[in-house]
Amino acid sequence: MAPSFLFSQFMGGLTTAMFLFLIASGLSLVFGIMRVINFAHGSFYMLGAYLAWQGVQWFHPTGPGFWAASLFAACGVGVLGAVVERLFFRSLYGREELYQLLFTYALVLILGDAAKFLWGTDQLSVSTPPVLAGSVQIFGSTQPLYNLFIMAIGPLIAFLGWLVLNRSGVGRMVRAAQMDREMLDALGANVGTIYTGMFVFSSFLAGLSGALVTPIQSIVPGMDVLIIVQAFIVVVIGGMGSFWGTFWGSVIYGEVLSFGILIFPGFSLFSVFALMAVILIVRPWGLFGRPL
Amino acid sequence: MSEPLLTVENIHTAYGLSRVLFGISLEVKAGECVCLLGRNGVGKTTTMRSVMGLTPPASGRVVWKGRDIAGRTPHQVARAGIGFVPEDRRIFPELTVWENLDVAARAGGRRGHWTIETVYELFPKLEELRNRQGGFLSGGEQQMLTIARTLMGNPELLLLDEPSEGLAPLVVDMLREKIGTLRDQGLTILLAEQGVEFCLALADRVYVLEKGAVRHSGPAAELRDNKELREQLMAI
């Protein structure tokens, strides 16, 4: 196989990876800090995509409005996250996982139908913003600029997230909440507000990912469930709640999918599931996770 | 005379169906060091958790500076000026000593005498250990840190739950001295203890608890001088 072809596969895998990272990091963050498995995270992503499409129609259907629409979508989903957390999630903390799954699954159904009601069942699409519409040649392979943009934004968010968590006062409070919620509360911190903040941030990331995917994927009903399965695989491989685990889990997922397709064409997802099974046997808590 | 800083009136507290406190009443005046004395399981910790709002009492009142605070959340109680040092220390294990203190200052949001510098003066050892993770400290070091951490919130009343538990005699002596320093500086303290000696060395007044109720209350001096009474109460 030609090196340029392998490189091209590698870059394709990396695009998938960094994209998934944006989504899975929010899922992992909420689990890591609040111990809630938010099955509706994929629905927030889907709503982000629909809201971005809507925003593009409103702001500027042919192009430059894309960035404003993305921000609108991310903020819109963030607000929805705040409402859902304040009204419903609050009573799920510390409850059995089963209740959390049932509730968040109900949310998946409700939001899925709401999206069909509002935007119909047809495929919708958004064109690539003009600035990033071109492509460049790297090592003899053609790379769309938009893919490179996605590849850059994943590590950027990972690095910023790491910096905030480990080097800022807010990050220290969040880590303390993760370690001992009750103690932090007794020291005078309103942990409820910290939780809401984290949930809103996680929803914002989901909405942003949904918006950013629209130039490369069409918006269809069912994209919520498709993505949540992938995001769960990433988080399980990397280790639930571990920030870097999610990052490397995404990279592994993207690359295994991308190269697996060469080895088992037609069974590309098989290689990912096989990998997940092996990792779960060897390290049930994921690569970077910790035993619960 | 002066109003008590804290008055606990006839509180009943339960964990689910298991009732622990059966009408505890006590009061702490400003500047006093009051000790709750009693064995394991008599309700010392639960009394503190009830005051703090961590395990709210089912009935009764907790009056702080003239206001009923029963039913308030722990962070509201903390911000009103009550600092809680839990028995099991509850250091944030993956934060460094400095980070533990910094988080507490942010959480408490109360300015006053206590800052990173002044708690390092009280416990110089913590300054040496400032970059070490809480989980890697010895029991004594953790106990210093948990007291220092609560002080960072500049409380007016310190709830100290069994600070001497499980520590070596030398460390216990050191802690007693430090708590004595805090008391002499005018900090109001409610101390829970199993050790009579530790309690009587520090306290102005003592409440002896038994099975979730106050069995005896009076000046510490009375217990110090009256060996018979002391033995009678401790035989419970």
Helix residue spans in B67-138 (DSSP H): 74-79, 97-108, 116-122, 124-128
Rounded-to-integer distance, Cα B209 and Cα A168, Å: 44
Q: Are strands B213-219 and B6-15 parallel, antiparallel or unpaired?
A: unpaired
Rounded-to-integer distance, Cα B28 and Cα B7, Å: 6
ipTM: 0.93
Q: Please write the tens of the pLDDT for every residue from A143-175.
A: 899 999 999 998 898 888 888 988 999 999 999
Q: Tell me how close the Cα of B74 comes to any Cα of chain A, in angstroms.
A: 5
Sign of CA dihedral B144, B150, B151, B155: negative
Residue type (1 letter), B183? R
User: Which among A175, A179, A184 has CB closest to B107?
Assistant: A184
pLDDT score recorded for residue A63: 59
pLDDT band at residue B73, thresholds of 50, 70 and 90? Answer: very high
Helix residue spans in chain B (DSSP H): 44-52, 74-79, 97-108, 116-122, 124-128, 139-151, 169-184, 196-202, 220-225, 227-234
Q: Report, as an integer, the average pLDDT of B35-58.
A: 94
Q: Report chain B residues whose CB lies below 8 A from the CB of A188.
A: 75, 78-79, 104, 107-110, 153
Which residue out of B96, B98, B106 would a mutagenesis test of the A interface target, given it has the greatest number of A Cβ atoms within 10 Å?
B106
pLDDT band at residue A119, thresholds of 50, 70 and 90? Answer: very high
Residue B126 contacts by C-beta under 8 Å, 6 or more apart in sequence? B97, B101, B119, B120, B141, B144, B145, B148
Q: Which residues pair with B161 in a beta bridge?
A: B192
**Residue B8: pLDDT above 90?**
yes
User: Which among A172, A175, A190 has CB closest to B75?
Assistant: A190
**Residue B236: pLDDT above 60?**
no
Contact B92 A179 (CB under 8 A): yes
Which residue did the predictor score with more confidence, B170 or A61?
Answer: B170
pLDDT score recorded for residue A46: 96
Q: Please write the tens of the pLDDT for every residue from A202-235.
A: 999 999 999 999 999 999 999 999 999 999 999 9
Of A44, A51, A6, give the one whose Cα is nearest residue A26.
Answer: A44
Q: Report chain B residues whose CB lies below 8 A from the CB of A183.
A: 86, 90, 92
Contact A187 B94 (CB under 8 A): no
pLDDT score recorded for residue A242: 82
The residue extents of the domains of chain A are 21-220
